[in-house]
Structure 1
Amino acid sequence: MSSSSQISALRQLANIINEAVDSIEATYAKAGAPLPSLDAPTFNPTDPAEALLQDPVVDSAALNIMAAASQLSATVCSPVASALNASQAFHISSCLRVASELNVVELLREAGPEGLHAKDIAAPSKTNAALLARILRLLATHNIFREVKPNVFANNRISAVLDKGKPSSVLFEKRAERLVGTSGVTALVEFFSEDIFKSAAVLGDTLLDPKEGELPYNRAFNTDQALYYWMQRPENALRLQRFGLGMAGTAGTEPVDAIFTGFDWSALPDKGVVVDVGGGIGNTALIIAQKNPKLRVVVQDLEHQVAEAKTHWEQNFPEHVKNQMVEFQSLDFFNPQPVKNASVFMLRYIMHNWDDARAAKILRRLREVAEPTTQLVVIEKILSVASTIQSADETAIPGAARPSAPAPLLPNWGVGKAEFYFHDMAVHTMLGGGERTLGGYVDVFAQGGWKLVKVCHCKGSQLSHIVGVPA
């Protein structure tokens, strides 16, 4: 590409940013609200100005800014500097965990916007003040916290997200309970920046020196147990608690009605059977049944979930329980499937936990009992490729096509969608699974005896309904 073409690309990226800023400015002006400041010492998700960031126009503009700013920086920065910076990004995770474990956010909240000297921040934990200042300075350099004057730090809007909402004295006195009752965001950040961080550090080792059945987390924590069993050991009680709080805190982030913007549940016949495979307490199936009460539901999961599921339905949809329109079955989905008259087998957030071989085994168990009219509905994220050339599947499968980012951005919005690709690696290090591209789903459906026939992308959601029929 010529020099003039490269400059033209820079101009295009800059124009994308300018146009996005114009859109955000216009939306906030119309609402008569100020754009939240990065330097604000608190974060209040119920603030109308914060809520406005979820407006589709603002959300789309923000996505373009993230993608364009990153690509613009990558274009003009030294490749050597970019590579070295990327190779050391793990320090951000490491320092973020320190700040959370030492309750820095809460100490700074109590100190107010003037901030607190590193010596005073370090005092309650009796840690090295000079080192803590360096840790916080690295984070402030990445726009997490503010250094208001030398060695004096204050919260900003990003660091404030990690506020556990308790007095710092209580957090230090009752360390084992410090994450209980929080939003779950802090728990998830600590889980990522410790468990996933340590596991990711040996990802290369498990590729270069593979051992049968060993995942990165197995090698990192020196255990041959599966993740969920290892976490239930007594010495891992706080680790399990943190993981559970983190998962629970993010469980409700999807819009409740998004489930109705994909697959058409109302088109199923009266008394059609929806089998929620590995459904936990069956909350997704419950939402579907409340709007479509003529559907029968079977909630399947391991034995310890069954009693909890029944209680949940009795509390939230007692008439369906009373009318015997819902059944609760204890089932390991690798074992034979007992329901032989299913209209739909639904698997939400199941497939990404397993590698292709085991995911295909789950699907084969369903295929063994499927009727010709049975449909498979897999509810997951679909990863987009970073290539400008679309896969043949996206053009051939009804509903699969999605908008691409405007040129010259990466078509998948690059860093703007980074969380999908981070999550893909996290699931691999923990469970050996991962997120899949559409082609990946086509392949694993075929291995399990199903044909992927359509995709329904849910509005306002990261999830898609991936629909299959018996092959």
Structure 2
Amino acid sequence: MHSLQVSTLRLLADIISTAVGKMEAAYERDGHLLPSLDTPFDPADSAESLRREPDVAAAIMDILAAAAQISVTVRDPSRTMVQTALAFNISSCLRVASELNVVEIIRDAPSQASHVKEIAALASVDSNLLGEILKLLATHHIFREVSPNVFANNRISSVLDKGKALIDLLTSSRDERFTGTSGFAAWVEYMTNDIFRSATCLMDAISTLQDGIVPFNLAFGTTEPLYYWMELPENAATREHFGLAMQGTVAGGDPESLFHGFDWGSLGPGSIVVDVGGGNGHSSLTIAQRYPELHVMVQDLAHTVEEARKYWHTHFVDHANRGMVEFQAHDFFTLQPVKNADIFLLRIIAHNWPDLRAIEILKHLRSAALPTTRLVIMDEIVPIAGGRTFENADIPGSAQLFAQEPLLPNWGTASAEVYLFDIVVGIDTIECILCGGVERTLDDFKELLDQAGWEMVRVHHGDRTRYSQLVAVPKV
């Protein structure tokens, strides 16, 4: 047993060494250095794009998986358990840093580093507590403590920069802080506040098993489903925040990932793309900016559609002025009114709903579909964790890669993000943190589509994003 464990460590170390060699070769080939952890993130840096090249992205996954597996193998398991049990503090502290605009305060400091007392004075909070918060984050490589109690931004912390002048952030209301931003900080704060609150009621919801009652309901004291609750007038600020947060799911990744899948350029001029449950329409707007001859229809609940109208008139007014985008108040649990769609787009929708409700949405789209209509689903596909084979491998693009042994088949914590979101949107089809949804495997999606009258014909696994794209056509 002892020699087996040593051998496993050596295999994991070799995986890391080989992957590092591949990364170094790629960066040397292109004349770049690996971006430093100590400097702010610059998305325009051409060295950053190398991370998205398939060979480099694969090497990164191997490094992340092997390093994590080595860590938990060699560490006292009780210490691992304690640290995991206390990990909620990192989320809590991250919210504090974002809401207090710590990144922007440091960014605008003369030396781009600030003593915690200076940060606390501008944020109007206690410097001792803020210092402890920043030390914890810096220990996890979020911020950098350059000298005792003096902090600078680094590659990780800087992604929370809202891109606005500090004076505007300090003088605007909480609800206005994200206006005009990419939405990524809004997304982080939504996760570390609203979702965090719901997560604390997870055990209560599982143990009570009340029909239709999920952790969100218990946390916010309502029997309404999340999206209907957000439509209430008193929750307008939350609704707007949520819309910006969903916009941030694009900003936090690579917008180009929308085009590494379904070929939007294959659609002819005037083709109708219906963005079903599209929020403020940020995804379809990105697509329309690339292909301005597409006719877009953004559908969502009434208040959200009005926010979409404002968003498009701010970010792509030309398309609106040409009459190439429409905004339609529509509940996707009712009959689909658009009968001539070339594309029905469902981006991050299916995972919000349990199977029966998701099938209901898909059936309404199938009833309205032409024989030539295609359904494009952008969502996360849960990788197989416990085996190295899967069904439906005959569907083009569906083949799932597996990590080399002794790594877990799904690369372990390197792919943990999808499982974390599985908890956010659903534990199973009854209980979940938000509204009864669930992340699905490829087989789950195929069964879902089959039951709703759609046939999956193509899969595009994302190599620049955690979202895959599934293409389906009406079953005959």
* TM-score, normalised by the number of residues in structure 1: 0.83
Match of 1:315 among 310, 314, 318: 318
Mapped partners of 1:292, 1:164: distance in 2: 28
Mapped partners of 2:171, 2:268: distance in 1: 58
Superposition pairs of residues 12-27 of structure 1, within 5 angstroms: 12-27=11-26
Q: Deviations over 1:326-359 (max 9, x none)?
A: 9876543222345567666543332122111101
Mapped partners of 1:43, 1:404: distance in 2: 30
Q: Deviations over 1:294-324 (max 9, x none)?
A: x988765545639939979983398885xxx
Mapped partners of 2:186, 2:274: distance in 1: 32
Contact 1:262/1:457 (<8 A) preserved:
no
Task: Say if 1:183 and 1:277 are closer, same or farther in 2 by CA, change over 3 A.
Answer: closer
Mapped partners of 1:207, 1:364: distance in 2: 29
Task: Say if 1:121 and 1:260 are closer, same or farther in 2 by CA, change over 3 A.
Answer: closer
Contact 2:247/2:282 (<8 A) preserved:
no
Question: Which residue of structure 1 aligns with residue 445 of structure 2?
Answer: 441
Superposition pairs of residues 168-247 of structure 1, within 5 angstroms: 168-176=166-174, 177-233=176-232, 236-247=235-246
SS of alignment partner, residue 153 of structure 1? strand
Superposition pairs of residues 269-280 of structure 1, within 5 angstroms: 276-279=275-278
Deviation at 1:70, TM superposition (A): 0.9
Mapped partners of 2:282, 2:405: distance in 1: 42
Contact 2:376/2:469 (<8 A) preserved:
no
Deviation at 1:69, TM superposition (A): 0.8
SS of alignment partner, residue 108 of structure 2? helix
User: Does 2:43 correspond to 1:45?
Assistant: yes
Superposition pairs of residues 298-447 of structure 1, within 5 angstroms: 300-302=299-301, 305=305, 308=309, 315-316=318-319, 330-338=329-337, 345-368=344-367, 376-393=375-392, 395-428=393-426, 429-447=433-451
Match of 2:70 among 69, 72, 76: 72
Superposition pairs of residues 55-94 of structure 1, within 5 angstroms: 55-94=53-92
Q: Deviations over 1:153-212 (max 9, x none)?
A: 332221122223445444333243333333322221111111111111111111111222
SS of alignment partner, residue 465 of structure 1? strand
Contact 1:263/1:456 (<8 A) preserved:
no
Deviation at 1:90, TM superposition (A): 0.4
Mapped partners of 2:327, 2:9: distance in 1: 58
Q: Which amino acid aligns with 2:102?
A: V
Larger of the two Rg values belongs to structure:
1
Q: What is the root-mean-square deviation in Å for CA atoms of aligned residues?
A: 3.6
Task: Say if 1:449 and 1:104 are closer, same or farther in 2 by CA, change over 3 A.
Answer: same
Task: Say if 1:415 and 1:455 are closer, same or farther in 2 by CA, change over 3 A.
Answer: same
Mapped partners of 1:445, 1:405: distance in 2: 28
Task: Say if 1:23 and 1:121 are closer, same or farther in 2 by CA, change over 3 A.
Answer: same
Question: Which residue of structure 2 aligns with residue 139 of structure 1?
Answer: 137
What residue ranges of structure 1 are gaps of 5+ in the alignment?
none
Contact 1:258/1:460 (<8 A) preserved:
no
Q: Which amino acid aligns with 1:333?
A: F
SS of alignment partner, residue 392 of structure 1? coil
Contact 2:261/2:469 (<8 A) preserved:
no
Question: Which residue of structure 2 aligns with residue 107 of structure 1?
Answer: 105
Contact 1:104/1:121 (<8 A) preserved:
yes
Q: Which amino acid aligns with 1:470?
A: K
Query: Which shifted more, 168-177 or 220-229?
Result: 168-177
Question: Which residue of structure 1 aligns with residue 429 of structure 2?
Answer: none
Task: Say if 1:261 and 1:392 are closer, same or farther in 2 by CA, change over 3 A.
Answer: closer
Mapped partners of 1:108, 1:292: distance in 2: 40
Identity of aligned residues (%): 46
SS of alignment partner, residue 362 of structure 1? helix
Question: Which residue of structure 2 aligns with residue 10 of structure 1?
Answer: 9
Question: Which residue of structure 1 aligns with residue 33 of structure 2?
Answer: 34
Superposition pairs of residues 154-165 of structure 1, within 5 angstroms: 154-165=152-163
* TM-score, normalised by the number of residues in structure 2: 0.83
Contact 1:276/1:282 (<8 A) preserved:
no
Query: Which shifted more, 182-191 or 240-249?
Result: 240-249
Contact 1:290/1:317 (<8 A) preserved:
no
Contact 1:96/1:193 (<8 A) preserved:
yes
Mapped partners of 2:343, 2:104: distance in 1: 48
Mapped partners of 1:113, 1:330: distance in 2: 50
Task: Say if 1:238 and 1:366 are closer, same or farther in 2 by CA, change over 3 A.
Answer: closer
Mapped partners of 1:243, 1:330: distance in 2: 18
Deviation at 1:258, TM superposition (A): 4.5
Query: Which shifted more, 139-148 or 162-171?
Result: 162-171
Mapped partners of 1:33, 1:423: distance in 2: 34
Contact 2:285/2:312 (<8 A) preserved:
no
Query: Which shifted more, 62-71 or 451-460?
Result: 451-460
Query: Which shifted more, 449-458 or 118-127?
Result: 449-458
Mapped partners of 2:447, 2:420: distance in 1: 22
Question: Which residue of structure 2 aligns with residue 465 of structure 1?
Answer: 470
Q: Which amino acid aligns with 2:446?
A: V
Instruction: Number of aligned residue pairs: give it.
Output: 462
Deviation at 1:113, TM superposition (A): 5.3
Q: Deviations over 1:254-280 (max 9, x none)?
A: 5457547447984x8999876554456
SS of alignment partner, residue 472 of structure 2? strand
Contact 2:366/2:474 (<8 A) preserved:
no
